[in-house]
Structure formats: C-alpha cells, structure tokens
Amino acid sequence: MTFAICAESSHQRGMGHIFRAINFHSYLKAKGEACVILTNPHAPAEDALRKNSVQFDLIDLNNEQSQWERILISRHRIDVWINDRLTTGKAHALRVKNAGAKLITMDDHGPGADLSDLHVASLSFSESEPPRGRRVLQGIDYLILSPHIIARRRLRRTLERIVISLGGSDTYGVTVKVAILLRELNYSAVIHLGPAFAHHDALAALLGDNLSVTENIPSLVDLFSDFDLAITGAGVTPFEANAAGLPALVIANELFEIPNGKLLHAAGSAFFMGHHKNLCRHQMQAGLSYAAAHLEEMSRRGMERFSPQTAFERIFKEIKNI
C-alpha cells in the first residue's frame, strides 16, 4: 500500500502539520509501507523533511486547474491520501477520490471532510461544529505524538527551569509578549525559536541574563527533557510536553485552539491562559504560581493521560479496514 501525506506549511499556517506528517511518515516506513509527503514550497519545512530523510514533492496546493492530485496519484501509485491541511476543500477532495485514492482527513474543518473515508479528529471540535466524514475517530486517543517521548518521560517535582516554545513560525509574535512578561516578573527562561520565526529584532532587545535563545535543534522532545515547565501554544506541542511529564502554561495562538487549551487544563496537566490577544501580566503570574504549587501533580497527570504509543496503531488499523 502506498500512502501520501499532504500537509501545508507557511509562516501564517505554522509547521505543526509538517512535523506531524514526518512522525506519521516514520511510523509508516517502519511498518514497511511506501509513503511520500506532498507540500508547498517553504524553505524551513523543506529543511525539516530533508533532515528526516523524507521523500517529498513540492506542489502548488492552491492550484485548482492542473489536476495535480490525479497526476501525483498516478505517478506514485497512491492508494491512501492523508490530508493534514486543516480545511480541505470539496473540489480538492473530489479530485482525490475520483482519481481512485482513499481520502483520510486530520482535524479538518473544511467542507471536503464530509467526503473523507476516515476523519481522524484527535483535537477538540466545538459542539456546534462536530467533525464530519464517512467514519470519524474522535478524541485524544488518536492524537499522533512523537514516539521519541517514551524514552524521555520523567516526573517533575520542583520548578527550576522554564522553556518557551510557541511553534515553528510563531505567526503573531507571542514569544515576544511572553518574554516581556517574564522579564517584568523576574523569571528566567530559555526561548526555543522555530525554523520559521520572523520576530528576531523585537526579541533581541529583551535578551540578557534571564532570557536566552536556542534554535536549530534536532529534537524538541530532547530539548524539553531538560526543563520543568513549558510555555507553549495550544496545538500538538503541549500534548507532547505533557505526555513526557512536562507541565505547560498554554496560550491559544488561534481561536480554534481554545478547546485544546481547555481540554489540557481540565486534564490537570496544563494551565490554560486563554487567547494570546488577552494575555496579561496577571494571567502569567497566575499560571506560574499555579505551576510552582502543583508541578508534581501536573506532571503525573500528563503522563497518565497522554500516551505516545497507541495512536499510530489505532489509526493504521482503521485505515487498513477501509
């Protein structure tokens, strides 16, 4: 069976979909399945794919005229097309299915998800907009996390080291806002910058004894293993942190991420600080104080609630049964 994973990457969209595609690609290859990643031109994403020895094709994902889906399905003899693009269009979904491939969507809010043979909806959807598809797998039991987490799990007991990681691109420059608040509150932290971060000038003025930067790291999981608390967005990153026993203060970069933040807060493994536009000194102090008082409990709950081992197998089994 040959798989294609179609994922979009940009400064605006971020790189979370590409990182998830890389993890799924690694799993499929280990199972002996052929797999190619299809993505748009974006230098940081291309670098990440090359570093992970991933076969990929660059395409114009917004081209509605060229029938590129049919061409690629024929070229690679694709049996299963996995769309990890957030909003699959109906015309695109029809072109994939009419070319003979099974269509899988991932956490997809677009009208094309209605046509999917399987919709893996691991992240939260609002009650007014439930996930759609011929068959839906819903819930964090289907959340794809890095398998490298397993070797890096440990219980945190005291708050000493803080890491900030707000995505591959940090579209809205939330890292800068967090750095300002930590400086005001006299906290130290290491700031991880993703490969598409574009706010260097604003951040540089804030760096000093208490705030330092790390970037171009080979593994976020390995980086996180050295810290006791992470400040993250509300995508997949806080779930990976929590699964490794690393509690998180979570900030939603996008409105659709708010349910994820609430889910993590309810699990007791993270403290949700709301949408980035409303982030203030009071919220940051509240989150830091809560984490300091409940760190061990948050760490334990994260490891108990989120498992990096089972989602791949569950999803793969369902795909095989389509």
- pLDDT at site 133: 95
Looking at the structure, tell me whether residues 233 and 123 fall in a common domain.
no
- pLDDT at site 127: 72
Q: How confident is the model at residue 196 (pLDDT cuts 50, 70, 90)?
A: confident
Q: How confident is the model at residue 16 (pLDDT cuts 50, 70, 90)?
A: confident
Residue 50 has pLDDT above 90, yes or no: yes
Residue 76 has pLDDT above 80, yes or no: yes
CATH for 180: 3.40.50.2000
Q: Which residue has the higher pLDDT, 141 or 281?
A: 281
Residue 52 belongs to domain spanning: 2-145+308-320
Residue 72 has pLDDT above 80, yes or no: yes
Find where tokens 């203030």 sit.
280
Residue 314 has pLDDT above 80, yes or no: yes
- pLDDT at site 307: 84
Looking at the structure, tell me whether residues 168 and 273 fall in a common domain.
yes
Residue 110 has pLDDT above 80, yes or no: yes
The per-residue pLDDT of the chain, averaged, comes to: 95
Average pLDDT estimate for 120-131: 83
- pLDDT at site 108: 95
Average pLDDT estimate for 223-242: 97
Looking at the structure, tell me whether residues 11 and 83 fall in a common domain.
yes
* Percent of the chain residues topping a pLDDT of 90: 85
- pLDDT tens, 254-280? 998 999 999 999 999 999 999 999 999
Looking at the structure, tell me whether residues 301 and 152 fall in a common domain.
yes
Looking at the structure, tell me whether residues 7 and 125 fall in a common domain.
yes
Looking at the structure, tell me whether residues 61 and 134 fall in a common domain.
yes
Looking at the structure, tell me whether residues 34 and 96 fall in a common domain.
yes
Residue 37 has pLDDT above 90, yes or no: yes
- pLDDT at site 34: 98
- pLDDT tens, 161-192? 999 999 888 999 999 999 999 999 999 999 99
Looking at the structure, tell me whether residues 60 and 189 fall in a common domain.
no
Residue 124 has pLDDT above 90, yes or no: no
Looking at the structure, tell me whether residues 197 and 121 fall in a common domain.
no
Total domain count, the chain:
2
Looking at the structure, tell me whether residues 229 and 249 fall in a common domain.
yes
Residue 128 has pLDDT above 80, yes or no: no
Looking at the structure, tell me whether residues 125 and 160 fall in a common domain.
no
Looking at the structure, tell me whether residues 130 and 158 fall in a common domain.
no
- pLDDT at site 157: 98
Q: How confident is the model at residue 129 (pLDDT cuts 50, 70, 90)?
A: confident
